[in-house]
Amino acid sequence: MDREKVTARLTEVFRDVFDDEDLEINDSTTADDIEAWDSLEHISLVSAVEKAFKMRFTMKEVSGMKNVGEMISILCERAKKC
């Protein structure tokens, strides 16, 4: 799965978690950019991403992610194909 496909799949997850079919994400998207993204939704988002990509983030990865681009990079690194 290349970076573009990871981003497209991740967009679907974000739209589902935040119940917003028009939501667009990019590498620089942060919680500040999405009104509904609070600490509780963050937990739901991480769980949904893990389920969608069939992997688990480490605590270090979760706490270190500053934006969506970093999440995509982690997913790509795990896939070893981006």
pLDDT > 70: what percent of the chain? 98
Map out the domains of the chain as residue ranges: 3-79
How many Å apart are CA 74 and CA 70, to the nearest integer?
A: 6
Would you call 37 helix, strand, or coil by DSSP? coil
Task: Give residue-wise pLDDT tens across range 40-66.
Answer: 999 999 999 999 999 999 999 999 999
Domain 3-79: homologous superfamily in CATH? ACP-like (1.10.1200.10)
| pLDDT of 80 | 77
Q: Per-residue pLDDT tens for 66-75?
A: 999 999 999 9
- The alpha carbons of the chain give a radius of gyration, in whole angstroms, of 12
